[in-house]
Each structure stands twice: as structure tokens, then as C-alpha cells.
Amino acid sequence: MSILLPILLALACAPLAYVAGRWRTGAAAWVGASGALAALGVLAHGWTQGPARVVLPWAPTWGLSLEFTRDGLSGLYAAMALGVGALVVVYSRAYLPHHLAEEGRSPREEVRFHELLLAFMAAMVLLVTVDDLLLLFVALDLTTIVSYLLIGFDREDPESRAAALLSLVLTGATSVVFFAGAMTLGLQYGTFSLPLVIERAASNPASTGALVCLAVGALGKSAQVPFHFWLPRAMAAPTPVSSYLHSAAMVAAGVFLLQRLYPLFAPATEVRDGLLAIGFLSMGLGSLMALVADPFKRVLAYSTIAQYGYALVLVALGSEGAPLYVAIHAPCKAALFLTAGAVTQVTGKKKLSEVGGLRHSLPVLAGASAVAAAGLSALPLTAGFFKDEVFFHALAKEGPVVMAAGLVGAGLTLAYTLRLWWGLFGGPRRDVPAAPRLLVAPVVVLAGLILLGGLLPGLLVAPARAAAETMRGEPSTLELAYHLDARAENLLAVGAWVLGAALFATRRAWTPGLSRVLRRTALLGAERGYRLLLHLLDRLSTWLHEKEVRDLRDRVASVLVPTGLLGIAVLGVTPLRARFMVGTVGWADVTLVMALAFASAAALATLRAKGHLMLVLLISCVGFSLAMVFAFAAAPDVALTSVLVETTFTLLFAGLLALLPEARLRRAQKESQKPRGRDRLAAGVAGASAFLLSWSALSHLQAERVGQRTVELAEAAHSPNVVAAVLTDFRGLDTVGEMSVVVAALLGVTSLLGLKKGRR
């Protein structure tokens, strides 16, 4: 139960915020944040009791169950989602009223925002605590859907809507690929339960295809190359969304998945090599873009791409520091995003070139964000130092090339972080009104945490080790401490700082050239490919729609003809012995055959019928002939019903003809053109296919019939009429369904006839 309690609390936050918001708009945020903190408290308490699992039966016959786990990985990520979530909700309490007023929307909508944010938090907690492949996918899609609503929160803004759609399409499509991978694994191992899958994978490694599918899902979520471009666009969202989704939650989900499934990836070195390359690529690309981007939220977005590239490298190398890296990055990035939002709210500006010199007016914010920036660029005395230490530690084992790449990446990180902070707070003094305290407080809290982790690294060891143990399935020996010696990690860190400082000092020299180069390469980038694909799909769909809607006849024929051809093709390839049987015609069948001939003749005659009344009469002639067939075929119930229905139908049809204007009927009759050749062809193909399929079916009737059993059972049903017994006793549910169809159709008929003339 103690496993489920934090999950249930997290799930309850959004409804509680709704209820509180009904009472008073401002209360929603406080109730939601306290709910999140309560969940965090319960989680921390459960943490002291060690790992545990709980399995609730869901659909046991299909081998499905709801499985939740409490282990190092889920604890770390859930704490991150809940803690940052609570702070962001408090921050939005101060941010949203101003934002909504600027957009000209009702202040009541703030409640909706808190609900969505808390719902996202719940989805995230669910994602990290489930222990089942299918549930992983479900939670993953929940985060996708809620993030769509959050990114598109400013629904009047077309850019915001487009960004939301882009993120939905990309992360949704890649999570479908993830689903394919999960299904493949489920089929391979005969279970979706994650511990069982991992246990069976030890002796029977997972197929490369499945692993690639899982990795694609994770890469899309974590905004890695080539799916990275949705993240900068998503910056159109209100800043609290960016600071939550794009630091601690949504983007972390992808890397989390890879860590959760790491035991499957461990033996597949080629897949991990691919991930390593993608990680380095994302690092480089994200860092370079962050160096030249002007809107400061974009700088942070590109930095996120780069930082999750680091995390991906760590996972690909199987480093035990991977979970710690993500956990330390989250508060740094969230604090910087919150700073960006506060600056935008105070100054109304969104670009680095438009602000600067704010350190005098916003001293607390400047100080706190300096700590966060130092954490992001891994300076000592902040927790961030250790994220780069584990990174360099992992690289040091891999040889000089990888080490050099890591050094350049870390140097770029320092350079763009310096550029960002200096762009906001450095430079000539500029005076602006003070920021509301509630906007600054969460940044200060996060900065305090970052400092605490840097001063007392021992606090980080236990959760980091627990998470690493869950990820790699073996005891972890992770150590975090400052060492004042010339080990490779320290040399790399110093090298990175020197490189970063040098890059920052000489930035005026290379910025224009770099931005020009990046703009050129963007022409070949993945985003362009995506747009081209979208454009082509759009054109194809328009073309098909125009083609299809142009003529109802083509629409019908385009369904019937391929289906008919498919039926014939199926007959061609199915090996059935004695496929077609002619059957015998005895004297008793003569009446039957005559009635059938009559029906056929009437049906053929309808094709040539001139007037509408004639048409109706011929149609009912077909129906009555068939009733006759049923009577001769010793099916009196069917025959009786048929006669009754035909009579009613003929009357109804005649009534309709009376309702339709005479002139229009005559004109329609005159205008209906001669049949086109291809209509005849379509009818021929469809008819031939129907004929062949029914012939084949009727030739293969089983001697053993269900009917014989029902005849025996009819006695138990106390019904001398077996058909009635079947309808009411044996297939009662069918009859209920039939009744509902009839009732629905009759309701439709009466409401359609009852509509006033001229109304549509």
C-alpha cells in the first residue's frame, strides 16, 4: 500500500486543485502544491523501507496486471517530478495572472492551467513507477496528451497551436514506435511484466529490431537528433510549462525509459554505439545552437537538447552516473527557465539582445540564477560539478577521442551558460521594477538545493547508488567527493572551464560566422525533411479527397471493386480440396428453383425499370419471390417475417414516392444517364466475387451443425418452435442487439421526418 500511496496522492492533486479552484481561483495552486509535497513526503518515507513491488490483477486471463515498483530509479525520478512540480505550480500562481491578463483571457483559466500541470505530474509519476511494458506505453502517451494541452495553452496564438501539434505528432509517433518494440518484446518473452522480461532476456537477448524501436520512442521523447526540433518550437508555451516539461519531466521521460530498460540494452553493443553517436551529435548540435540563439528560452531549449545528449552518452556507456546526471540537471535547468520567465514578466522582453544589466534591479534573482548557471556548467561547490564528474569518469575509460569530444561539449556548455547569464544580468545597468517575491522564491529554493548538493555531496550518494543499482542490476560503487589531484576527471574539467571561458571572452569574433554556418546547415536538417513530408502528405490527402468526393459512384466502386478482386484472389490462393460442388437438384427442389428464377428475373428487370413506381413494385417482387423461396426451403418463420417486412416496406416506399415532388422525380428519372461502362464492370466484378465466394462457402458446409445441438436443447427450453428458442433463449443477446438497431433506426426515421421544412 505504501507503494501506491504517493501515486494515488499525485493522481488526486489535479482533482483537488479543481475543487479548490471552484471555491477560489488562487487556492488551486496552493492545494495542488501541497498535494505534491505530501506525495513527496510519503514517497520519502516509503523510500526508507527499501525497494518493493505490488502487483494488482487486471485481466488475468490475458496475463495482464497492474504492476508498480518502488526502487532507486522510480524514487529518484518521482521525487524530481513531484518536487519540481510543486515549485513550478507555486511559481505559476504568480506568473499566470499576469500572463492571462496580457493575453486578454479570463483569470479563471489559471485553474485549468494548474490542473493540467498537476495532471502532467501525475502522468509522470505513473510513468516512473509502473513496472510493465504496456503500462509504460500508456503512461508515456498520457504525458504526450497532457503536454499537447499544456504547450497549446495559449490557444489563441497560432504559433503555440502549431508547436503543440508538432510536439504531439513527433512524440506521439515515436511512442507508437516504442509500442511496437514493447509488443515485440511481449511476444518474444510471453509477458509484459518488466522484471520477468529482464530475467528472460538474460538467457535470450532481445532482438535488435525491438531495441531500436524502444530507443526511437525514447529519443523522440528526449528531443534527441533527429527528433530534436520539436523542443525549441515548444518554447511558445507559457514559461512554467517549459521549465517543468523541458527540464524535469517530459524530456527526462525518454532517458528514463532507456535507464529503466537498460538491462535489455546492455548486451546489444551495436545499438548502444548508435545511441552514443546520437548523444554526441545532440550534444554538439544543441550546444552550438545555444551559443547563437537570441531568445533566451531558445538558448535553454537547445541547452536541454545538449544536456540530454550527455545523459544519453552516459546510458550508452552503461555508466552508473546516468540517473544522477538527469537528477542534477533538472533543478539547474528548471531554475534557469523560471529565471527567464521572471525576466520576461518584469521587462516584457524575450530576447538576449533586448535585455541586460538587470543585476542591480533583481539582485536576488541574479544571485540565485548564477548558482543555477554554475550548476549547469558544472562549477565546483554546486551539485552540477558532480554531474560532469560522473560524465568525465565514464569517458575516461573510453579513450582520448571520446574524452576530447566530452571536453569540447562541456566547454561549450560553460560558454553558452555564461553568455546567457551575462546577457540577462551583466552589462550596463538597466533599471526595471522589482519582480514579485513568489516568482523569485522557487528559483531561490532550487539554487539552495543545488548549493546543498555541492557542499554536502554525501547526501547525493545514496539515491544515486540506488538508482544506478536499479538501472544496471548490480551493486554500485559510485563515489562523490572533491579530489585535489591530477586525475583525468579533474584535468578534463579544468580544460573545459578554460575552453568555455576562452570561448566566452572571444564571442564577438566567432558569433556571426557560426550563426551563418548553422543557418546554412539548417536547410539540410531534419526539420526541413519533416516539413516536406508533411506538405507532401497534405497534398496527397487533398488529392485523394477531391478524387473521392467528386462522385459518389467512384467512392462506392473504389471500395467494392478492390474488395471483389481481393475475394477472388483469396479463392485463388486458398488450397481447398473439392473447392466447388454443383450439388443435386431433386424433384422436391423444382419449386425452389422456380422461385429463385422468379427473384432473379425481377432483380434483372429492376435495372431496366423506367418509372419509380415500377421500380418499387419490382423490388417488392424480388422480396416476395425470396419469401416464397424461404417457404419452399422449409423455413416458415423466415418466410412469414419476410412477407410481413416486404409488405410494410413496399407501403413505406410508395409513401415516400408520394412525399417526393412529382416533377423532381420525373426530372431525376430523365437525367439519370446511361450506365457507364465501368459501372457495369464494377458490378460484374462484385457480383462474380460474391458468386464465387458463396459458392465456395456453400460447398464446404460441415455435416456437423450447431443447429442439431440446438434442436436437442430446445426441449429444455420448453419451446416446440426451435427458431423461437434460438432467438429468445440461445441467442438472446443477438436479439437485444437487433431490437436496439430497430429502435435506433425508427427514432432516426421519426426525427428526420419530424424536422421542419427548410431546416438542415
Partner 1 sequence: MILIASLVVGLLFACGVRMVLERELVRVACGTVLITNSSVLLILAGSFPVRGEALSVQKGWPVTDPVLQSLALTAIVIGFAVSALLLTLVHRTQRAHGSLRTDRLVEAELKRVHAVEKEEGH
Residues 174/227, Cβ–Cβ less than 8 Å? yes
Mask for 738-757, x = binds partner 1 (CB under 8 A): x--xx-xxx-xx--xx-x-x
Minimum Å gap between C-beta 326 and partner 1 is: 42
How far is residue 235's CA from residue 246's CA, in Å, rounded to a whole number? 9
User: Using the rule CB under 8 A, which residue among 589, 591, 617, 717 binds partner 1?
Assistant: 589
Residue 607 interacts with partner 1 (CB under 8 A): yes or no: yes
Tell me if 560 contacts partner 1 by CB under 8 A. Answer: yes
Between 353 and 721, CB nearer to partner 1: 721
| Least Cβ distance, residue 540 to partner 1 (angstroms) | 17
* 695, 704, 716, 733: residue in contact with partner 1 (rule CB under 8 A): 695
Q: How far apart are CA 165 and CA 640, in angstroms?
A: 57
In terms of CB distance, is 404 or 739 closer to partner 1? 739
The C-alpha angle with vertex 217 and arms to 215 and 223, in degrees rounded to 5, equals 95
Cβ(415)–Cβ(291) under 8 Å? yes
The answer to the question of residue 52 lying near partner 1 (CB under 8 A) is no
Minimum CB distance to partner 1, residue 152 (Å): 18
Region from 123-131, 149-157, 163-171, 656-664 binding partner 1, contact rule CB under 8 A: 656-664
Tell the smallest beta-carbon distance from residue 738 to partner 1 (Å). Answer: 5
| Residue 178 engages partner 1 in binding (rule: CB under 8 A) | no
Rg (CA), the chain: 35
Residue in 596, 610, 614, 628 binding partner 1, rule: CB under 8 A: 596
Instruction: Assess 638 for contact with partner 1 (CB under 8 A).
Output: yes
Q: Binder to partner 1 among 37, 619, 621, 628 (CB under 8 A)?
A: 619
- Read off φ and ψ for residue 55, nearest 5 degrees: -120, 120
Residue 364 in the binding site for partner 1 (CB under 8 A)? no
User: Residue from 532, 536, 604, 614 that binds partner 1 (CB under 8 A)?
Assistant: 604
Binding-site size for partner 1 (CB under 8 A) equals: 107
Amino acid at 283: M
In this structure, the number of other CB atoms found within 10 A of the CB of residue 747 comes to 10
The single residue among 59, 552, 573, 578 that binds partner 1, judged by CB under 8 A, is: 552
Q: Determine which residue in the list 486, 671, 716, 718 makes contact with partner 1, applying CB under 8 A.
A: 671
Which residue among 84, 592, 621, 628 contacts partner 1 (CB under 8 A)? 592
- Please tell me the distance from the alpha carbon of residue 189 to that of residue 185, in angstroms, as a whole number: 6
Looking at residue 135, its amino acid is L
Footprint of partner 1 on 700-739 (CB under 8 A):
701, 705-708, 710-711, 714, 720-723, 725-727, 731, 734-735, 738
Residue 514 found at the interface with partner 1 (CB under 8 A): no
Q: How far apart are CA 638 and CA 630, in angstroms?
A: 6
Nearest approach in angstroms of CB 621 to partner 1 is: 11
- Rounded-to-integer distance, Cα 246 and Cα 322, Å: 18
Scanning 73-81, 260-268, 311-319, 670-678 for contacts with partner 1 by CB under 8 A, the matching segment is 670-678
253 and 222 Cβ atoms separated by less than 8 Å: yes
- Rounded to 5°, the CA angle 6-10-15 comes to 140
Residue 691 interacting with partner 1 (CB under 8 A): yes
Name which of 306 and 725 has its Cβ closer to partner 1.
725
Cell numbers at 481, concatenated: 567527493
Q: Grid coordinates representing 86?
A: 510543486
Q: How far is the CB of 739 from partner 1 (least distance, A)?
A: 9
Q: Which CB, 134 or 619, lies closer to partner 1?
A: 619
CB of 157 to partner 1, least distance (A): 16
What is the biggest distance separating any 2 CA atoms in the chain, rounded to whole angstroms? 111
648 binds partner 1 (CB under 8 A): yes
673 φψ region: left (φ > 0), alpha (ψ -120 to 50), beta (else) = beta
| CB under 8 A, 24+ apart: contacts of 28-32 | 28/110, 28/111, 28/114, 28/115, 29/89, 29/90, 29/92, 29/93, 29/110, 29/114, 30/90, 30/93, 32/89, 32/114, 32/115, 32/117, 32/118
Query: Rounded CA gap, 402 and 701, in Å?
Result: 70
Q: How far apart are CA 439 and CA 597, in angstroms?
A: 86
Nearer to partner 1, 509 or 681 (CB): 681
Smallest distance from partner 1 to CB 635, Å: 5
Q: Round to whole Å and give the CA distance between 683 and 94.
A: 68
Rank residues 22 and 539 by Cβ distance to partner 1 and give the closer one.
539
Three-state secondary-structure class, residue 530 = helix
Q: Is 236 in the site for partner 1 (CB under 8 A)?
A: no
Task: Fill in the per-residue mask, 438 to 477: x = in contact with partner 1 (CB under 8 A), - = not in contact.
Answer: ----------------------------------------
| For partner 1, the closer CB: 379 or 692 | 692
Could you give the CA distance from residue 103 to residue 120 in angstroms, rounded to a whole number?
23
Residue 566 found at the interface with partner 1 (CB under 8 A)? no
Smaller CB separation from partner 1, 77 or 624:
624
Site for partner 1 contains 663 (CB under 8 A): no
Binding of partner 1 at residue 649 (CB under 8 A)? Answer: yes
Among 75, 634, 662, 716, binds partner 1 (CB under 8 A): 634
Question: Which of 584, 587, 704, 733 is the binder for partner 1 (CB under 8 A)?
Answer: 584
Q: Is residue 534 close enough to count as binding partner 1 by CB under 8 A?
A: no
Write out the three cell numbers for 643: 412477407
State in angstroms the smallest separation of the CB of 71 from partner 1.
51
Residues 84, 88, 92: CA angle, nearest 5 degrees:
175
Contact 292, 518 (CB under 8 A): yes
Give the nearest distance from C-beta 653 to partner 1 in angstroms. 6
First-to-last C-alpha distance (Å) of the chain: 57
The reply on whether position 633 binds partner 1 by CB under 8 A is: yes
- Our finding on whether 591 is near partner 1 (CB under 8 A) is no
Q: Which of 363, 484, 82, 98 is nearest to 244 (CA)?
A: 82
Task: Return the closest-CA partner of residue 52 out of 76, 73, 68.
Answer: 68
Grid cell, residue 257, equals: 525509459
Amino acid at 4: L
Q: With CA atoms as reference, report the closest residue to 21 among 40, 35, 10.
A: 35
The smaller minimum CB distance to partner 1, of residues 58 and 730, is found at 730
Identify which range of 234-242, 321-329, 465-473, 660-668 contacts partner 1 by CB under 8 A.
Answer: 660-668
538 binds partner 1 (CB under 8 A): no
